Amino acid sequence: MKEMQTKIPLEKIARLVRYNILTMTTSAGSGHPSSSLSAVELMVGLLFGGAFRYDTDHPDHLNNDRLLFSKGHASPLFYSLWAAAGKLSRADLLTYRCFGSPLEGHPTASFRYAEAATGSLGQGLSIGVGLALNAKLDKLTYRTYVLLGDSEMAEGSVWEAMAIAAHYRLDNLVAVVDVNRLGQRGETMHGHDLDAYRRRAEAFAWHTLVIDGHDLAGILTAYRQADQYAGGPVMIIARTIKGKGVSFIEDKNGWHGKTLKKEELDLALAELGKVDEEVRGSIPLPRNLQPERRPAAGAAPLSYAVGTPVATRKAYGNALNRLYPAFPDIVSLDGEVSNSTMAEYFKDEHADRFFEMYIAEQNMAGVALGFAGRGKIPFVSTFAAFMSRAYDQIRMSQYSDANIKFVGSHAGVSIGLDGPSQMGLEDIAFFRTIIDGVVLYPCDAVSTEKLVAEAARHRGIVYLRTTRQETPVLYEPREEFPIGGCKVLRASDADRATLVAAGITVYEALTAHEDLRREGISVRVIDLYCIKPVDEKTLREAAAATGLLITVEDHVPEGGLGEAVRSALWNTGVTVASLAVRKKPKSGKPRELLDYEEISARAIADKVRELSRKS
């Protein structure tokens, strides 16, 4: 049992925290003081009451307890806590929301004590699940605490996280719900009906503790009980008052995201009474545990024969297994389609490092961020189409400087008979929007395996797109596929156009090349396996040599390969024609669909003939 620390009265620390919340937000002229004030006792009791163990001089200590503010708009409270721990000065707090300050309006990776960027509500508990699963995997004793707002309890991703936390029996995870009754525009769904939250949490197999969120003695007892509970996650459901400590805003609507004016601040500070600005809370140190580390070893060599038909999704599964010795921090997460994404190959060999996330893609992306925050390399796989469900989580992960690899299978209309609901047709576009993100689209087994290795080696967010149907191996195992590159597969001095393709359409472009060659029309063929960052140099050389580029993609035209090429050639004056999925797709055989969408070899050859006649 963790020993409770009571040397400095927690009430004094709470008063200082309130003082800092009010003054820093008034100074900034923006922020959420009322939402921060409601959780002061809950968080002061946690950090400085002895339940929380953390080496404040070493935020990356492997066995530090972890604290996430899922209600990221309560950042004034978050920063004030670390000031009370002696890690921020008064001057630091007064930079809140200033350009260049690490104390941003909602926590991001700029602040070294933030576990992850939060503020898009409903995401913190999923990240907490990832942190808690990591502790189990590494056999560490740290606990993960997540502060949730009552408004965000309406988010489906919260309940996805609750279901998976119970499934994995995460008794090292504690959620603290700040039930302050008021949301942004009025009362929340359940107001102060704490029993409504209790019933729902218990239905999801969570142990619950219902408390007064301003009673420090009760709060300390609750954390002690949560620490002792074994068998599953714990939810502390706390009744609080929004704006607590400032009588004229307490429990009053209309104060969300609104700061006090100077004269209002003076009144509020008078109510607080004497504040000891020098008081600091202490946090007990964690146990100095170190997980067992498997040393990196060499990966087995590739053994594909040119011409052998292999689906790139299968090559992805093979690659995870083959590369794991070289990248022992890999973990695999899948959305209950591992027998289609082929992540099951890794699951069969490394069951302890495979995490079934079921049909809950938002939660899966958040859990991956939790793993990534503790040094793992998560590979997250599902159908490319279903990645769109987790777009907000993926978008937010870039602000955590996340190291996550997303793998979308069943891309494009070429999946065939399953029909449009299963066809990933927008995925390249939204992954191209990620700042410094990488988008990879291999066409064969060798390029897939090499690009999985590149993804594992790269620090940041990577998206790799795989194909359902088998494609013949094009490349020898000795070929390399650096990020930012491409492959010129066919070229001559007589080329009248350049065909730029990726994935399944590489083969259509090669077939069109042969058909046109027999007619005396020579064209260049480029496998643009890396769509972001794009190989601008090679594309510009091809544009200068041929004067015409035709892009071909099994993806909608908006935001896809064609637009990536156009962006690279924006000032060249070269014509770029794009063949892409422009019609509403339907069920059919892959060949029928490629012809229907006019991205097949026949359509490519026709486009070359048409444009050649015009030039």
The answer to whether the bond into 533 is cis (omega within 30° of 0) is yes
User: CB of 119 within 8 A of CB of 41?
Assistant: no
What's the rounded Cα separation, in Å, for the pair 21 and 35?
10
In total, the chain counts a number of residues equal to 615
Under 8 Å CB-to-CB from 264, ≥6 apart: which residues? 248
User: CB of 552 within 8 A of CB of 501?
Assistant: yes
Instruction: Select from 582, 570, 572 the least CA-distant residue to 607.
Output: 582
Helices (H) and strands (E) in the chain, counts: 22, 19
Neighbour-count burial of 472, counting CB atoms closer than 10 A to its CB (0-12 exposed, 13-18 middle, 19+ buried):
middle
Q: Which helix (H) or strand (E) holds 84?
A: helix 75-84
User: CB of 510 within 8 A of CB of 564?
Assistant: no
User: CB of 20 within 8 A of CB of 276?
Assistant: no
Neighbour-count burial of 212, counting CB atoms closer than 10 A to its CB (0-12 exposed, 13-18 middle, 19+ buried):
middle
Neighbour-count burial of 279, counting CB atoms closer than 10 A to its CB (0-12 exposed, 13-18 middle, 19+ buried):
middle
Active-site residue, from 361, 426, 454, 597: 361
What's the rounded Cα separation, in Å, for the pair 65 and 323?
31
* Tokens encoding 277: 């600005």
Instruction: Select from 124, 89, 107 the least CA-distant residue to 36.
Output: 107
Please say if 361 is a catalytic residue. Answer: yes
Neighbour-count burial of 203, counting CB atoms closer than 10 A to its CB (0-12 exposed, 13-18 middle, 19+ buried):
exposed
Q: What residues are annotated to the active site?
A: 361
